[in-house]
Chain A
Amino acid sequence: MPDQNAFAGADAAPILVANGVTRRFGGNLAVDVEHVEIPRGKITALIGPNGAGKTTFFNLLTGFDRPNTGSWTFEGAELAGIPAYKVARRGMVRTFQLTKSLGLLSVLENMRLGATGQLGERFLPALLPFLWARHEAEITAKAMDLLARFKLDAKADDYAASLSGGQRKLLEMARALMSDPKLVMLDEPMAGVNPALTQSLLGHILALKDSGMTVLFVEHDMHMVQTIADWVIVMAEGRVVAEGLPREVMGDQAVIDAYLGAHHDTDLGTLTGQLAVAEDLGAPEALVERIEEEIGDGAGHETEGAGR
């Protein structure tokens, strides 16, 4: 259930604070975030239509891209300009919109790769197994634990390439947890996942919060957001146009505009999904009808592009 007091409580200091972050691609200002805070220990959803700059913002925060201006702090420490691998080591681990499970490694090796501080990852100690064999056994035990939680333990020795799309999403999430991160950033964890698996993914995300982690995730589907998010940040055209509790945000005129308004022709995601959202949001009757018409004659739009 959504937490009605996202910012209440003693440890309410936000885990991540960003200020004046901009990223320009040529003449296009893809990200222009003046100020945003991610509440600690909560599940925050970052939503917005395609092209809103969500993934770009993700890439900036995690060091996979460099901003033109701006700064942000994670756990109070400045993080701008820090390379991606160091960001991950500080406890801010991400997944990708297009899943990056490593198909030529076994599922278990994928998991082990997520562990940190393994001495055997350094070149010379790597040649002397007795230095790191014990740690490797601990890592393996932890990996098998996590795999069991994600119901992938039977697949441990298979190549990750043999997993289904949804299982790869699970593997990527499980792998990110190997380093015991403080902030888990999931880029469209539900994209391309079948409904049954979606339920279990939602369960896993809630479990992350219960174990004390903070979660930030990008999502299109408003139902998911309403089900699990404690806090919602809405982006459109690179800016944060609204933030707040899920229920409040859904009724915000700026959000309705962003999703359904001016750019409704260019920003179509799944039309059916949009219809559901439109109804949820209490959009004007005329608009709902218009969408229904388009579903009728636009079967080609049914399959949602995996992203941008």
Chain B
Amino acid sequence: MLDWTFIPLTLNQIISPQTIAFALAALGLAVHFGYTGLLNFGQAGFMAVGAYFFAITATRFDWPLWASVLAALVGATAFAFLLGIPTLRLRADYLSIVTIAAAEIVRYTVQTPDFSSFTGGSDGINGSEKGFEALDPLPDSVYKVGLVPYTNDDIWVIVVGWALVAVAAVFVWQLMRSPWGRIVKGIREDEDAVRSLGKNVYAFKLQALIIGGILGSLGAIINVIPTSLQPNNYGTQTTFFLWTIMLLGGATTVLGPIIGSILFWVVLGLSDGVIAILATSHALPLSQVQQGPVRFIIVGVALMLLVIFRPQGIFGKKKEAYFSA
């Protein structure tokens, strides 16, 4: 008997908090790379910093929701300063090296036993959602969307999450059509040209790094609230999922990262399901352990194909594709 219920279940990925989280973080990455040309390979690090600042202040110090969210934003900003001040005056490559390393440093540091009274070590942190769920106006009940039952708290996260995505999208859209956006788009192409016109390029790059990082940390909060904080969710695979999402939708668009996130998680869920079915029916010579990593192969191949054949993504304009094959 083959189990096809994964198909309707996967469709719930369209609205899931995970999709929201990756949409926000990929939008941040679009601010970094798509609009400003900053090669940030450590967006997972910005998410991790946001998640930990939020969860630690909420659970260990019982800060109210607004204060914990503020702490996450401050944390992401500080992280941007930390990475940006030494590297943004240098060539673009240095930022990519530093960000990928810094993101891993964050992930390993929070798992050290010495900090586990704060960070929970490799177990992560549970229970940071209390402040958020206290604001839930929905009556206690179970709602069914498709085949999946949602508690009122689940629905509350999803509603707030998508509202946040909408606000972030309008924010980035307005920013990029303003004179500020004009400057960062100029920087993406040739920062000396922009400098020669009297613009403080370094300050604009730092601002872009902060804004994108903050969007990443907001995404992480939406990811943490309905489940828990797991340090291994913020490894390099998260960063490369985000790159795939951004390039899939279009790096120089606002809708691209959002639609890209939806498509990415639906397709990934469907391919996981299909592979599981093919493996259990022995059509594919894969053991249960081997099935998991296949998704990374798929994502890797998709990333390569995108960059080669459609660098502008689904929504981008060919002429504005930042790198051309």
A135 (CB) vs chain B CBs: closest residue: B179
Is A55 interfacial (CB 8 A cutoff)?
A: no
Is A93 touching B207 in the complex (CB atoms < 8 A)?
Answer: no
Is A267 interfacial (CB 8 A cutoff)?
A: no
**A176 and B183 alpha carbons, distance in the complex (Å):** 15
Is B51 interfacial (CB 8 A cutoff)?
A: no
Q: Interface centre among A88, A126, A127, A179, by most B CB within 10 Å?
A: A126
Residues of chain B in range 278-305 having any CB-CB distance to chain A below 8 Å: none
Contacts known (A105-B185, A113-B183); A85 close to B198, Cβ less than 8 A: yes
Is A121 touching B180 in the complex (CB atoms < 8 A)?
Answer: yes
Is B199 interfacial (CB 8 A cutoff)?
A: yes
**A118 and B181 alpha carbons, distance in the complex (Å):** 12
Is B181 touching A175 in the complex (CB atoms < 8 A)?
Answer: no
For A57-79 the 0/1 string (1 means CB < 8 A from B) is 00000101000000000000000
Residues of chain B in range 171-196 having any CB-CB distance to chain A below 8 Å: 171, 174-175, 178-183, 185-186, 188-190, 192-196
Is A94 interfacial (CB 8 A cutoff)?
A: yes
Is B195 touching A84 in the complex (CB atoms < 8 A)?
Answer: yes
Q: Interface centre among A83, A100, A112, by most B CB within 10 Å?
A: A100
Q: A2 contacts which chain B residues (CB < 8 A)? A: none
Is A88 touching B198 in the complex (CB atoms < 8 A)?
Answer: yes
Is A129 interfacial (CB 8 A cutoff)?
A: yes
Is B320 interfacial (CB 8 A cutoff)?
A: yes
Is A134 interfacial (CB 8 A cutoff)?
A: no
Q: A136 contacts which chain B residues (CB < 8 A)? A: 179
Among B179, B196, B319, B322, which residue has its beta carbon within 8 angstroms of that of A88?
Answer: B196
Contacts known (A105-B186, A113-B186); A88 close to B181, Cβ less than 8 A: no
B200 (CB) vs chain A CBs: closest residue: A85
Query: What's the count of A-B pairs with C-beta under 8 Å?
Result: 100
Q: How large is the interface on A (under 10, 10 to 19, 20 to 34, 35 or more residues)?
A: 35 or more
Is A307 interfacial (CB 8 A cutoff)?
A: no
A117 to chain B, nearest CB (A): 9
Q: B179 contacts which chain A residues (CB < 8 A)? A: 112, 118, 120-121, 126, 132, 136
Is A127 touching B198 in the complex (CB atoms < 8 A)?
Answer: no
For B261-288 the 0/1 string (1 means CB < 8 A from A) is 0000000000000000000000000000
Contacts known (A105-B182, A109-B182); A114 close to B171, Cβ less than 8 A: no
**A299 and B263 alpha carbons, distance in the complex (Å):** 58
Q: Interface centre among B175, B180, B207, by most A CB within 10 Å?
A: B180
Is B200 touching A96 in the complex (CB atoms < 8 A)?
Answer: no
Please give the number of chain B residues whose Cβ is less than 8 angstroms from any Cβ of chain A in the complex: 29
Is A62 touching B196 in the complex (CB atoms < 8 A)?
Answer: yes
A58 to chain B, nearest CB (A): 11
**A176 and B181 alpha carbons, distance in the complex (Å):** 19
Q: A129 contacts which chain B residues (CB < 8 A)? A: 174, 178
B208 (CB) vs chain A CBs: closest residue: A123
Is A85 touching B180 in the complex (CB atoms < 8 A)?
Answer: no
**A102 and B197 alpha carbons, distance in the complex (Å):** 12
Is B198 touching A116 in the complex (CB atoms < 8 A)?
Answer: yes
A129 to chain B, nearest CB (A): 7
Residues of chain A in range 135-188 having any CB-CB distance to chain B below 8 Å: 136, 159, 161, 175-176, 178-179
Is A126 touching B175 in the complex (CB atoms < 8 A)?
Answer: yes
B188 (CB) vs chain A CBs: closest residue: A104
A185 to chain B, nearest CB (A): 9
**A80 and B189 alpha carbons, distance in the complex (Å):** 28
Is A103 interfacial (CB 8 A cutoff)?
A: yes
B319 (CB) vs chain A CBs: closest residue: A159
Among B195, B207, B319, which residue has its beta carbon within 8 angstroms of that of A161?
Answer: B319
**A94 and B92 alpha carbons, distance in the complex (Å):** 24
**A126 and B178 alpha carbons, distance in the complex (Å):** 6
Is B192 touching A88 in the complex (CB atoms < 8 A)?
Answer: no
Q: A113 contacts which chain B residues (CB < 8 A)? A: 182-183, 186, 194, 197, 199
Is A89 interfacial (CB 8 A cutoff)?
A: yes
Is A308 interfacial (CB 8 A cutoff)?
A: no
B17 to chain A, nearest CB (A): 27
Q: Interface centre among A95, A102, A116, by most B CB within 10 Å?
A: A102
Is B209 interfacial (CB 8 A cutoff)?
A: no
Is B157 interfacial (CB 8 A cutoff)?
A: no
* B interface residues, Cβ below 8 angstroms from A: 171, 174-175, 178-183, 185-186, 188-190, 192-201, 207, 211, 319-320, 322
Instruction: List 12 additional contacts besides A100-B192, A109-B182, A121-B199; criterion CB under 8 Å.
Output: A64-B192, A85-B201, A101-B193, A104-B185, A105-B186, A112-B179, A113-B197, A120-B179, A120-B180, A126-B174, A129-B174, A179-B198
26 contacts between A and B (CB under 8 A): A64-B192, A83-B200, A84-B196, A88-B198, A100-B190, A100-B192, A102-B185, A104-B188, A104-B319, A105-B182, A109-B185, A113-B182, A113-B186, A113-B199, A118-B179, A120-B178, A120-B179, A121-B180, A121-B182, A126-B178, A126-B180, A126-B181, A129-B178, A132-B178, A161-B319, A179-B198
Query: Which 5 pairs show the lowest CB-CB distances between chains A and B?
Result: A100-B193, A88-B198, A126-B180, A126-B178, A120-B179
